[in-house]
Structure 1
Amino acid sequence: MVRAVVCRALGAPETLRLEEFPSRALEPDEVRIAIRAAGLNFPDVLMAAGEYQLKPELPFTPGMEAAGDVTEVGAEARGVAVGDKVIAKMRHGAFTDEAVVRPSQLTPMPSTFDYAEAATYLAGHGTAYHALIDRGRVEPGEVLLVHGAGGGVGLAAVEIGKMLGATVIATASSDEKLAIAETRGADHLIRYDREPFRDAVKRITDGRGADVVFDPVGGEVFENSMRCIAWGARLLVIGFTGGIGLAKTNLLLMKGASVLGVRAGEAVRKNPALGEVRLKALLAWAEEGKLRPNVSHRLPLQDYAKAMRLLLDRKAIGRVALVMD
């Protein structure tokens, strides 16, 4: 029997249930994987609550990314073999012991990662890559302001921004989160409750402001970011964990600034070649030891609600993984 977290009614994490199902037979072009770890992302929580742009039919299993071992390969499936260690990319369905997918959803697992790291890598770092390279076009020597730097995508942005040669200013809500951001390359640290970040950014940059803003928070954070940007700045909208921010067009005009939406998954669906370039780079950087997700919590599958609450309560530093027995 296969265990899976099932959403039968939209709501809080506690409304989901862990259920058991028999394994289903493979179609000729499918692959079966034994999932060893699944990564949690904020969209998983939103999807279960019915608050995400993707709204799967009920019932469904949340989870966008997983890592595990190939255990069975259909007769027409190509490019994968039993025993391969892989990352599985899904729109949902990862919070389970076993998944049936197509080979196109699988990527070889970096040899430098364990299962939990592999299961928490591509979504966060893929978003940061798309934001900073495809959309923000960060150049060496520019100032990058990363909000929510203690979160999964924020820490990924700190890592990639530093690798691109930017001066990275990290903001977060605690000393513990900032300490991790510093180990990942942040040059300057700002704690939200100790100094208004817009003032701190101006102080750090001698009044010039940030060239690129990476914002997964939104709300007042986005609105105040417009008051500490340099000429020609790019404000990257990643998400809205703090609410919807309003773009004041007079501020954007005065600074010749741009607001850019970031949808890493949709960008790949529109342009698969873009995704291939991104994936190749992320896997190479992982093998070279340049990038690694910070997994602050590893919980068993049956603690899925507790794991989702860690994201909602912003207690995770980096990523959270469900680890299978």
Structure 2
Amino acid sequence: MKTMKAVVCRKYGGPEVAALEDIPSPALRAGSVRIQVHACSASFASLLVMEGKHQNRAPLPLIPGTEVAGVVVETGAGASRFRVGERVIAGVQSGGYAQEVVAPEETVFHLPDGVSFDAGAQFPTIYGTAYGALHWRARVAPGEVVLVHGAAGGSGLAAVEVAKALGATVIATAGSKAKQDVVLEHGADHAIDYHRADWRDAVLALTGGRGADVIYDPVGGATFDTSLRCIAPNGRIIPMGFASGAIPTVPANIVLVKNISVIGVYWGYYFGWGRHPVAPGNDAKLRQAYAQLFDWTAQGRIRPRVHAALPLSEFKTALHMIAGRQAIGRVIMRPQP
């Protein structure tokens, strides 16, 4: 029996109770491809999954990880889109922190030769989500103002770059001078320290008192609450996650009086994860989205930032970087020897 190394959680509790194990390689399924993983992304969502706190509670034992980049090494019956040896990225519901994954070809996409595996591993979820949220759902138009919170993290930097590529003026919040410098390097027009008590006033000052047209918020909690006080009329706010640990509630009177929209985006819906079947037309939408993202990458408008690249054996260090908010960009793990 062929085996592989993978990060395995046999009980909930986070990185400390997980271990790198030798386990059987996943079985190849019809319509799927086997990928030798060269890079996978550490993420806050994976921390929640490992702790048993994610909204999609995964059954045990589990292998966390949703974003991978690698090489196709085998194709299943009926899978015709990819050949052995091709470089690809894939979004998987779980199993990414491993030397191999098996993914349905609908959630596998070609990785251009000019994009590294480390960069490619950032596209399946965080760049895809940023594109879907800002372009498909919020319909960001050129000249609009987009406010991105937590902008120095992997999710935030992706949103900054996608918003800028869509023609927006981007205001970014980040928690240190070093992080503010990076978000400016990646296209933000303005950077604000969110530790400032008056960051709301700063946003209003930058927009002539009007507020931001679109707010991309992976932080939640008090940040979301304050964002409702600096959103423009007809604005759209996107709760992308809850890194603060607090899930906010939305006062319906503010939604009414300010004439704003609260937009939910679950990228797994487009990938057909969980109880969400793949909707008709999503396949073409997804392939167009990644084609656009990689076109922007070729133009230099998207530049995925790798904070650190570690062997998979150091997964605990990688995830602690995320938990401690040390990362500027994405932390990548490399499963191959």
Q: What TM-score comes out, normalization by structure 1 length? A: 0.94
What one-letter code is carried by the residue in structure 2 that aligns with 1:159?
Answer: E
CA contact (8 A) 1:268 1:274 kept: no
Question: 1:242-276: per-residue Cα shift (whole Å, max 9, x none)?
Answer: 11122223333222111111212214535324333
Q: Distance in 2 between matches of 1:22 and 1:77?
A: 22
**Aligned equivalents of 1:293, 1:245: Cα separation in 2:** 29
- 2:248 aligns to what? 245
Alpha-carbon distance in structure 1 between the residues aligned to 2:44 and 2:14: 13
Select 2:79's aligned residue among 77, 80, 100. Answer: 77
Q: For structure 1, which segment, 48-57 or 312-321, has the greater mean C-alpha deviation from structure 2 after superposition?
A: 48-57
Q: Is the 8 A contact 1:40 1:64 kept in 2?
A: no
SS of residue in 1 equivalent to 2:304 = coil
Percent pairwise identity: 43
User: Among residues 298, 301, 308, which one is paired with 1:290 in the alignment?
Assistant: 301
1:277 to 276, 288, 296: 288
Out of 312, 328, 333, the position equivalent to 1:301 is 312
2:266 aligned partner, one-letter code: R
Q: How far, CA to CA, are the matches of 2:266 and 2:192 in structure 1? A: 27
Find the counterpart in structure 2 of residue 61 from structure 1. Answer: 63
Return the offset for 1:196: 2.0
Give the direction of change, closer, same or farther, for the CA distance of 1:113–1:141 in structure 2 (3 Å limit). Answer: same
| Pick aligned residue for 2:264 from 241, 261, 265 | 261
- Secondary structure at 1:265 match in 2: helix
Could you tell me which amino acid in structure 1 is paired with residue 298 of structure 2?
Answer: E
Pick the aligned partner of 1:143 from 145, 149, 156: 145
Shift of 1:233: 0.9
Aligned to 1:158: 160
Counterpart CA distance in 2 for 1:5 and 1:171 is: 33
Secondary structure at the residue paired with 2:263? strand
1:261 alignment partner, SS class: coil
Call closer, same or farther: CA 1:47–1:160 in 2, change over 3 Å.
same
Residues 115-155 of structure 1, C-alpha deviations (whole Å, 9 max, x = no match): 11111222111111111111111111111111110111111
Q: More deviation in 181-190 or 113-122? A: 113-122
1:322 aligns with 333
Deviations along 1:85-138, whole A, 9 cap, x unmatched?
Answer: 111220010111122333333211122211111112221111111111111111
Partner of 1:210: 212
Distance of 1:25 and 1:130 partners within structure 2: 31
1:128 aligned to 127, 130, 153, which one? 130
Shift of 1:75: 5.4
Residue identity opposite 1:259 in structure 2: V
* SS of the residue 2:93 aligns to: coil
Aligned length: 325
2:38/2:71 contact within 8 Å kept = yes
The answer to whether the 8 Å contact 2:220/2:242 transfers is yes
- Report 1:8-87 matches (<5 A): 8-23=10-25, 26-27=28-29, 29-74=31-76, 76-87=78-89
Instruction: Give the 3 Å change call, closer, same or farther, for CA 28–278 of structure 1 in structure 2.
Output: closer
Paired residue secondary structure (1:57): coil
Question: Unaligned stretches of 5+ in structure 2?
Answer: 273-277
Which deviates further from its counterpart, 225-234 or 239-248?
Answer: 239-248
CA RMSD of superposed structures (Å): 1.8
**Residue 103 of structure 1: aligned partner:** 105
Structure 1 residue aligned with 2:324: 313
Alpha-carbon deviations, 1:183-231, whole Å to 9, x = none? 1111111001235211111111121111111111111000001111111
- Correspondence 1:3 to 2:9: no
Instruction: Give the Cα–Cα distance (whole angstroms) in 2 for the partners of residues 167 and 26 of structure 1.
Output: 46
Deviation at 1:30, TM superposition (A): 4.1
The whole-number CA distance in structure 2 between the counterparts of 1:31 and 1:222 is 40
Are the equivalent residues in 2 in contact too, given 1:219–1:244 (CA < 8 A)?
A: yes
**Structure 2 CA distance for partners of 1:212 and 1:29, relative to 1, 3 Å:** closer
Asked if 2 retains the 8 angstrom alpha-carbon contact of 1:236 and 1:259, the reply is yes
Residue type of the alignment partner of 1:261: G
Q: CA deviation at 1:25?
A: 5.9
CA contact (8 A) 2:29 2:102 kept: no
Secondary structure in 2 aligned to 1:140?
A: coil
Alignment partners' CA distance in 2, 1:158 and 1:276? 21
For residue 240 of structure 1, report the CA deviation from its aligned partner.
Answer: 1.0
Question: Within 2, Cα distance between the matches of 1:5 and 1:266?
Answer: 25
Change (3 A) 1:23 1:218: closer
Amino acid at match of 1:263: Y
